[in-house]
Amino acid sequence: MRVESRSAVWEHTVRWSAALVAACALAAPAAAQPPDPAYREYVSLGDSFTADVLTTVPPTTEFAPFNCDQSVTNYPRLVAAALAVPTFRDASCGGAKTADMTAPQTVPLGSNPPQLDRLTPTTDLVTLSIGGNDLGLQELIPQCLSPAGLLPGLPDPGSCAARVTANGADPVEARTAAAEAGVTATIDEIRRRAPNARILLVDYLDALPDTGCVPELPATPADAAYLRSKLIRLNTMLARVADRTGVRLVDTFAAGTGHDVCQAPDVRYVEGLLPFSDRNPQLVAFPFHPNAAGAAAQARAVLDAIGHRA
């Protein structure tokens, strides 16, 4: 029997070990790679119901001027984080109307460029929430708040509907047709600029109950019901536009039912006249705008609409 030298044995051992390592490397499964994001370029468009959540934290100016009041925890940012999109732009701005989608919006100390200018041919996800300012809801709400609603026994100033109606014409009703045309035109232009984008039309949270409450909504039952009817009118219009244009409606109104301004602080999604909520222990929302819980509910509704599961 031939006895191999020590050096030969060592050489065979090294070769065998190298072969074993190579075989194991081939047999071992590749390290798991994170999945590609479902969307790569997300653009958010909208008004203050999109942009705003908090007032005690300075607005971010990453995507828009300071006085657009974009919150670092608004629903578009929550959606972008959940989807891990590589590119995200938030064009939303407080006070925006449909006209501001294609024209600059003047805000104190600055100007927000046309919101649709943030779109590119590679944008593949767009959320749009607009129309409330076209109907004038933010101006209407304070007109319908009254001392009679705040303190029973005080003189009733009369119906809010009667006070805001001029010559028998309800201004909100008169503005609805123009707003509907504006939202429709916006969607058409989004499709032109971002032909491959999935478009989600996001409606407005169920913020206003049909009866008042103190101090969040100091309005008579009749005036509170009138305000709610206009919110429903706005969302009905948006649903009609979504159906006609073939985009997906994100029904945040349904998600917000039971979480209106008159609910307990730890329940409501939208703050009332005095915007203090346990949902925002140090982060207070604008009056009659979503709080942190409301923004989270909006984000969940958007993510559910596109089938995203955490």
User: Rounded CA gap, 179 and 89, in Å?
Assistant: 24
Least confident interval from 8-22, 131-145, 207-221: 8-22
pLDDT at 53 over 80: no
Q: Point out the catalytic residue in the list 7, 92, 289, 308.
A: 289
Q: pLDDT (tens digit, 9 = 90+) per residue, 242-275? A: 999 999 999 999 999 999 999 998 899 999 887 7
Domain map (residue ranges) of the chain: 37-305
pLDDT at 111 over 80: yes
Please state the rounded mean pLDDT for residues 34-56.
85
Strand order in the sheet with 248-250: 87-90, 41-46, 125-129, 198-202, 248-250
How open is the CA angle 74-77-78, to the nearest 5 degrees?
Answer: 85
* Comparison of pLDDT for 300 and 53, the residue scoring more: 300
pLDDT at 296 over 60: yes
Please state the rounded mean pLDDT for residues 182-206.
99
Please state the rounded mean pLDDT for residues 7-19.
45
Q: Point out the catalytic residue in the list 44, 48, 92, 146.
A: 48
How open is the CA angle 230-240-198, to the nearest 5 degrees?
Answer: 120
* Comparison of pLDDT for 105 and 154, the residue scoring more: 105
Annotation says 289 is catalytic: yes
Its CATH class, for the domain covering 37-305, is: alpha beta
Residue 158 and residue 220 in contact, taking contact as beta carbons nearer than 8 Å: no
pLDDT at 128 over 90: yes
Q: pLDDT (tens digit, 9 = 90+) per residue, 55-74? A: 566 678 778 877 888 888 89
How open is the CA angle 131-134-138, to the nearest 5 degrees?
Answer: 90
User: Rounded CA gap, 258 and 30, in Å?
Assistant: 49
pLDDT at 25 over 50: no
Annotation says 229 is catalytic: no
The pLDDT value given to residue 231: 97
User: Rounded CA gap, 132 and 135, in Å?
Assistant: 5
When the pLDDT of each residue in the chain is averaged and rounded to a whole number, the result is 85
Q: List beta partners, residue 127.
A: 44, 200
Q: pLDDT (tens digit, 9 = 90+) per residue, 149-174? A: 566 667 677 788 888 887 778 888 88
Please state the rounded mean pLDDT for residues 81-88.
98
Phi-psi group of 145: left, alpha or beta (phi > 0 → left; psi -120 to 50 → alpha; rest → beta): beta
The pLDDT value given to residue 6: 39
Amino acid identity for residue 187 in this structure:
I
The residue whose two tokens read 């109907």 is: 135
pLDDT at 103 over 90: yes
